């Protein structure tokens, strides 16, 4: 199957990156290279695009797609949380723009054997980076009931998290849970029939296990300070999130970078010495247009936030 991924909020992201023809830009979640292609098209031969993705299939597909611009493109297989080190390897200290699209790619969701989707029966996997050892199967069969409850409650925000965790533990006592299909049936049994009307019953648990498996929220939290620091004056950071957990982290980090002062409100002047790093361009997040939602229903939860370094 070809690596296909609809580039969410493409026009809006490219506009907000304020691309300079001779600038250096980083796509930290390269995917199929849709956003990257539109960036590199706007670069002069002196400009540079650095693409990062932990999925080998994404690197291969994007490399093919960006081949006509190979003279100004550098690709790394890695996690954007290591962007500082990867850029140093590329001989780059600071950049004019950074993009993160935190969505799971359509390729990952639609490729049965990757085990991301509750729509197919496949081995429980969910690894974005197939070099890592931890899989969804390990989480489902190895975490304690309390740990499973925490993951499903915190990352899936599922009101039935406790019941689902209990059902998983009881089911695996009989034999290990090996497939997405088995997990689907267990989750279904844990949720009252009348409550299964609002979307697929497994959606929240699958999201939670995927986030845990790939350390998605930790990567985001751990990276933001470095991402701000890597931007040149006037450089922009564009982040597309797909659920409230990610969006809250980004919104909070942007707000703190714009107004880092921790002095009590009654102080007449700032004495903490913490200076603003820049400004939030998007006071409210940019959402997909009606036209985009018609083309790609998976865009519906997407939010773009933009920060500019001073």
State the average pLDDT over residues 21-34: 96
CA dihedral (28, 29, 35, 38) in degrees, to 10, reads 40
Q: Which residues pair with 239 in a beta bridge?
A: 100, 305
Identify whether the C-beta of residue 308 lies closer than 8 Å to the C-beta of residue 278.
yes
Q: How far is CA 206 from CA 117, 153, 197, 237, 246, in A?
A: 7, 12, 17, 29, 16
Q: In the structure encoding, which two tokens stand for residue 43, read together?
A: 């670069």
State the average pLDDT over residues 244-266: 96
Local confidence band at 194 (pLDDT 50, 70, 90 cut-offs): confident
Q: What is the mean pLDDT of the chain?
A: 95
Which pLDDT tens digit goes with each residue over 210-219? Answer: 999 999 999 9
Q: What does the pLDDT read at residue 99?
A: 98
Check whether 272 has a pLDDT greater than 60: yes
pTM of the model: 0.94
State the average pLDDT over residues 59-76: 96
Local confidence band at 199 (pLDDT 50, 70, 90 cut-offs): confident
- Ramachandran class of 306: left when φ > 0, alpha when ψ lies in -120 to 50, beta otherwise: beta
Local confidence band at 193 (pLDDT 50, 70, 90 cut-offs): confident
Identify whether the C-beta of residue 29 lies closer than 8 Å to the C-beta of residue 220.
no
Which domains does the chain possess?
10-107+216-309 (3.40.50.150), 118-214 (1.10.150.170)
Identify whether the C-beta of residue 223 lies closer than 8 Å to the C-beta of residue 230.
no
Local confidence band at 3 (pLDDT 50, 70, 90 cut-offs): low
Q: What does the pLDDT read at residue 106?
A: 82
Choice between 200 and 131, residue whose per-residue pLDDT is larger: 131
**Most confident among 93-107, 131-145, 191-205, 262-276 (mean pLDDT):** 131-145
């Amino acid at each position: 199957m070809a690596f296909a991924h609809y580039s969410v909020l493409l026009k809006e992201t490219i506009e907000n990156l304020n691309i300079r023809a001779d600038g250096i830009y980083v796509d930290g979640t390269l995917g199929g290279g849709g956003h990257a292609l539109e960036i590199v098209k706007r670069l002069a031969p002196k400009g540079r695009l650095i693409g990062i993705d932990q999925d080998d299939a994404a690197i291969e597909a994007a490399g093919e797609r960006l081949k006509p611009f190979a003279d100004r493109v550098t690709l790394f297989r890695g996690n954007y949380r290591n962007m500082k080190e990867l850029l140093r390897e590329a001989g780059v200290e600071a950049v004019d723009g950074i993009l993160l699209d935190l969505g799971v790619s359509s390729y990952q969701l639609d490729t049965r054997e990757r085990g991301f989707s509750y729509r197919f029966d496949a081995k429980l996997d969910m690894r974005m980076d197939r070099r890592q050892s931890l899989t969804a199967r390990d989480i489902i069969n190895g975490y304690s009931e309390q740990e499973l409850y925490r993951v499903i409650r915190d990352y899936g925000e599922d009101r039935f998290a406790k019941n689902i965790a209990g059902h998983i533990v009881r089911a695996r006592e009989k034999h290990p849970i090996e497939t997405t299909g088995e997990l689907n049936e267990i989750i279904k049994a844990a949720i009252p029939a009348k409550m299964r009307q609002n979307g697929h019953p497994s959606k929240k648990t699958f999201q939670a296990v995927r986030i845990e498996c790939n350390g998605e929220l930790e990567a985001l939290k751990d990276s933001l300070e470095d991402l701000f620091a890597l931007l040149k004056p006037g450089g922009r950071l564009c982040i597309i999130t797909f659920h409230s957990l990610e969006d809250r982290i980004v919104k909070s980090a942007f707000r703190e970078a714009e107004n880092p002062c921790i002095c009590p409100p009654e102080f007449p002047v700032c004495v903490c010495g913490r200076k603003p790093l820049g400004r939030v361009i998007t006071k409210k997040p940019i959402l997909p247009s009606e036209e985009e939602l018609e083309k790609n229903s998976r865009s519906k939860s997407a939010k773009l936030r933009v920060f500019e370094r001073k």
